[in-house]
Amino acid sequence: MSDARHYTPVDRLLLQANTALRTLLPFTGQPYRPSPALLKDEVALEPSQTRHVAGLMRINHTGEVCAQGLYQGQALTAKLPAIRKAMEHAAEEEIDHLAWCEQRIRELGSHTSVLNPVFYGLSFGVGAVAGLISDKVSLGFVAATEDQVCKHLDEHLKQIPPEDQKSRSILEQMRIDEEQHSTNAIAAGGFRFPAPVKFGMTLLSKVMTKSTYRI
C-alpha cells in the first residue's frame, strides 16, 4: 500500500498560492538549513559599502524570488511525476537562499525589492509554459537559468568587501547550490539551450539586476 499523496488540481493550486505567499511576504520563508553567515562576525562597513552590498543582496534575493516562480510554474505543468518532484525539491532548497538573503538585507538596514511580485509572476508564467512544452525544455531552462545565476554570483563575490564575511559566505554557498541544480537538470535530460537563447536570457537578467539594485 503506497503512502504517496495524490493531489487534485485544486490542491496543487492552493499549494502554489501558499508558496507564493511564503515567497513574497517578509520573513515567511523558513530556511531548511541555517545561514552560513551565522558563524561569521559582523564588521563595520563604510556607508557607501553598506549601500552597495545591500543592493547586491537585494538583486540576489529577487533572483531567488524568480527561481521560486520558475520552479513552481514548472512543477505545476511538468508531465512526469519524477520531474515534478525534482522541481519541488529544488524550490525547497531555493527557500534557504531566499531567507538567507532577506535576513542579510535587513541586517544591512535595507529592504527587499518592491518589484518582487512582478518578477515572481513573470517567472511563474515562463516556468509553466516551459513545462507545457516538454520536461526536456523545462529542465534545460533550469540549467540555463542557474548558469546565469552563477555568473551573477561570481560578479558579486568580486565586489563584496573582503571583510564582509557574512555576505560572502551566503553567496559562496548559493554558488555551490546553484551549480549543482544546473548539473542535476542536465543529468535528468535537460536540453542544452543554444548561445542565442542564452544571450537573450542574459539581456533579460540585466533588466532585473538594474531595476532591483535600488528598488
Angle at 81 between CA 76 and CA 87, to 5 degrees: 55
SS (H, E, C) the chain: CCCCCCCCHHHHHHHHHHHHHHHHCCCCCCCCCCCHHHHCCCCCCCHHHHHHHHHHHHHHHHHHHHHHHHHHHHHHHCCCHHHHHHHHHHHHHHHHHHHHHHHHHHHCCCCCCCCHHHHHHHHHHHHHHHHHHCHHHHHHHHHHHHHHHHHHHHHHHHHCCCCCHHHHHHHHHHHHHHHHHHHHHHHCCCCCCCHHHHHHHHHHHHHHHHHHCCC
Burial degree of 101 (CB within 10 A; 0-12, 13-18, 19+)? buried
Binding site listing for Fe cation: 64, 94, 97, 146, 178, 181
Cell numbers that stand for 82 in this block: 519524477
Query: 79: which 3 cell numbers?
Result: 508531465
Residues of each annotated binding site: 64, 94, 97, 146, 178, 181
